[in-house]
């Protein structure tokens, strides 16, 4: 099926273009971007023009940062196209609800993707945890923003989420693997004195079974990233590392191999199923926790940040 990719920047080039190229379900039929393009693919700079000139393209994948994404998503849905959204699905919960309502009205599919949920070991981690009593869960998500978002000022502008841009990946795994929902009870948010979003955060969560659940986010970690969820239960321990790519259960590595390889190939396989079934997948749980952190978090001032 023909698909258009919108916002040809870091994630489009790193992940979306190769995943579409390797997929039997999809053909990259157009790009829309003010500066970016993909060799051999018709390139548009105006979204409305692409929608008008290419009625053959029924599906649009939006890889823009969250703040500008709503206008594009709304336009695509109004034009009867199915839409895939990069994470986070929007800059606010309300605009995500509005998109879902619009998609239902227009009868099109809408997919809020969470790429980290497609990491190799997430399904095994979820199954392992399903029948155990949680005692402690500690998320440690530390990386170097200069390595992962080089020069991307939007991450430090209001709506760009700051350190919650990677942190929401951890929350997407948390909300997938936990058998019961948690909710945020407090957060310390460290805002660089010259920026609009936090560069580090500590979050604490209420768990209905009384387990200790916490999250430590830092965007100034030098060297290799730490993307880890450590879990203690009444029946042993689990360590999910590499953003869900590596799993230790009671100190033993899980070496089972999943079928289709890669987070983005799985997202596009899921999109094909959603579109053919005319379904909507708009789980906003990870974004809700981030919104709660901004609602309830204490604002602390950190040193100025420059690239």
Q: Is 33 an interacting residue with respect to ligand NAP (CB under 6 A)?
A: yes
Q: What binding mask, one character per residue, do residues 159-178 give for ligand NAP by CB under 6 A, x or -?
A: ------x-------------
CB 89 within 8 A of CB 282: yes
**Rounded Cα gap, residues 143 and 145, in angstroms:** 6
- 233 vs 242 by CB, closer to ligand NAP: 242
Residues 7 and 35: their CA atoms lie apart, in Å, by 9
The Cα 103–Cα 237 span in angstroms is 42
Q: How many angstroms separate the CA atoms of 47 and 121, rounded?
A: 37
87 a catalytic residue: yes
Stretch that binds ligand NAP, among 28-36, 191-199, 218-226, 231-239 (CB under 6 A): 28-36
Nearest residue to 197 via CA among 256, 140, 157, 252: 157
Nearer Cβ to ligand NAP, position 36 or 286? 36
Q: Is 35 in the site for ligand NAP (CB under 6 A)?
A: yes
8-16, 53-61, 124-132, 279-287 -> range binding ligand NAP (CB under 6 A): 8-16
245 touching ligand NAP, by CB under 6 A: no
Classify the phi-psi angles of 161: left when phi > 0, otherwise alpha if psi is within -120 to 50, otherwise beta: left
Backbone phi, psi, residue 248, to 5° = -115, 130
Token output for 220: 């100034």
Backbone angles phi, psi at 256, to 5 degrees: -65, 150
- With CB atoms as reference, the residue minimizing the distance to ligand NAP is 9
Binding of ligand NAP by 10 (CB under 6 A): yes
- Closer to ligand NAP by CB, 45 or 276: give it: 45
Cβ atoms of 28 and 56 closer than 8 Å: no
Judged by CB under 6 A, does residue 263 bind ligand NAP?
no
Write out the binding residues for ligand NAP, residues 45-74 only, by CB under 6 A.
Answer: 63-66, 68
148 binds ligand NAP (CB under 6 A): yes
The stretch near ligand NAP (CB under 6 A) out of 10-18, 185-193, 205-213, 218-226 is 10-18
Q: Which of 87, 131, 246, 252 is catalytic?
A: 87
Distance CA 83, CA 102 (A): 11
Could you tell me the smallest distance in angstroms from the CB atom of residue 278 to ligand NAP?
A: 26
Segment contacting ligand NAP (CB under 6 A): 5-13, 98-106, 190-198, 282-290?
A: 5-13
Q: What are phi and psi of 97, to 5 degrees?
A: -60, -40
Among 17, 39, 40, 43, residue whose Cα is nearest residue 30: 43
- Is there binding between residue 145 and ligand NAP (CB under 6 A)? no
Q: What pairing do the DSSP bridges indicate for beta strands 134-142 and 246-249?
A: unpaired
Question: Using CB under 6 A as the criterion, which residues of the chain lie in contact with ligand NAP when the complex forms?
Answer: 7-12, 33-36, 63-66, 68, 86-87, 115, 148-149, 152, 154, 165
**Which residues are designated catalytic?**
87
């Amino acid at each position: 099926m023909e698909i258009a990719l919108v916002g040809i920047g870091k994630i489009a080039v790193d992940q979306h273009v190769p995943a579409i190229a390797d997929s039997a379900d999809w053909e990259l039929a157009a790009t829309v971007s003010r500066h970016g393009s993909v060799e051999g693919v018709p390139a548009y700079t105006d979204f409305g023009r692409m929608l008008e000139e290419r009625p053959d393209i029924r599906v649009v994948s939006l890889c823009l940062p969250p703040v500008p994404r709503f206008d594009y998503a709304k336009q695509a849905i109004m034009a009867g196209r199915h839409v895939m959204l990069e994470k986070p699905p929007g800059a606010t919960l309300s605009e995500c609800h509005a998109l879902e309502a619009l998609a239902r009205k227009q009868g099109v599919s809408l997919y809020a993707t969470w790429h980290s949920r497609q990491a190799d070991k997430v399904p095994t981690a979820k199954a392992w945890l399903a029948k155990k009593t949680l005692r402690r869960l500690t998320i440690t998500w530390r990386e170097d923003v200069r390595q992962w978002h080089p020069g991307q000022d939007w991450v430090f502008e209001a709506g760009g989420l700051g350190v919650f841009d990677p942190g929401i990946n951890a929350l997407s795994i948390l909300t997938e693997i936990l058998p019961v929902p948690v909710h945020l009870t407090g957060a310390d948010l460290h805002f660089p004195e010259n920026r609009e979003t936090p560069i580090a955060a500590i979050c604490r969560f209420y768990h209905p079974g009384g387990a200790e659940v916490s999250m430590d986010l830092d965007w100034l970690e030098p060297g290799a990233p730490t993307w880890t969820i450590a879990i203690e239960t009444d029946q042993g321990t689990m360590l999910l590392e590499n953003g869900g790519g590596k799993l230790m259960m009671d100190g033993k590595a899980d070496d089972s191999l999943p079928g289709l390889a890669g987070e983005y190939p799985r997202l596009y396989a899921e999109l094909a199923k959603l579109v053919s079934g005319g379904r909507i997948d708009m789980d906003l749980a990870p974004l809700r926790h981030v919104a709660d952190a901004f609602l309830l978090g204490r604002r602390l001032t950190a040193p100025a940040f420059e690239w």
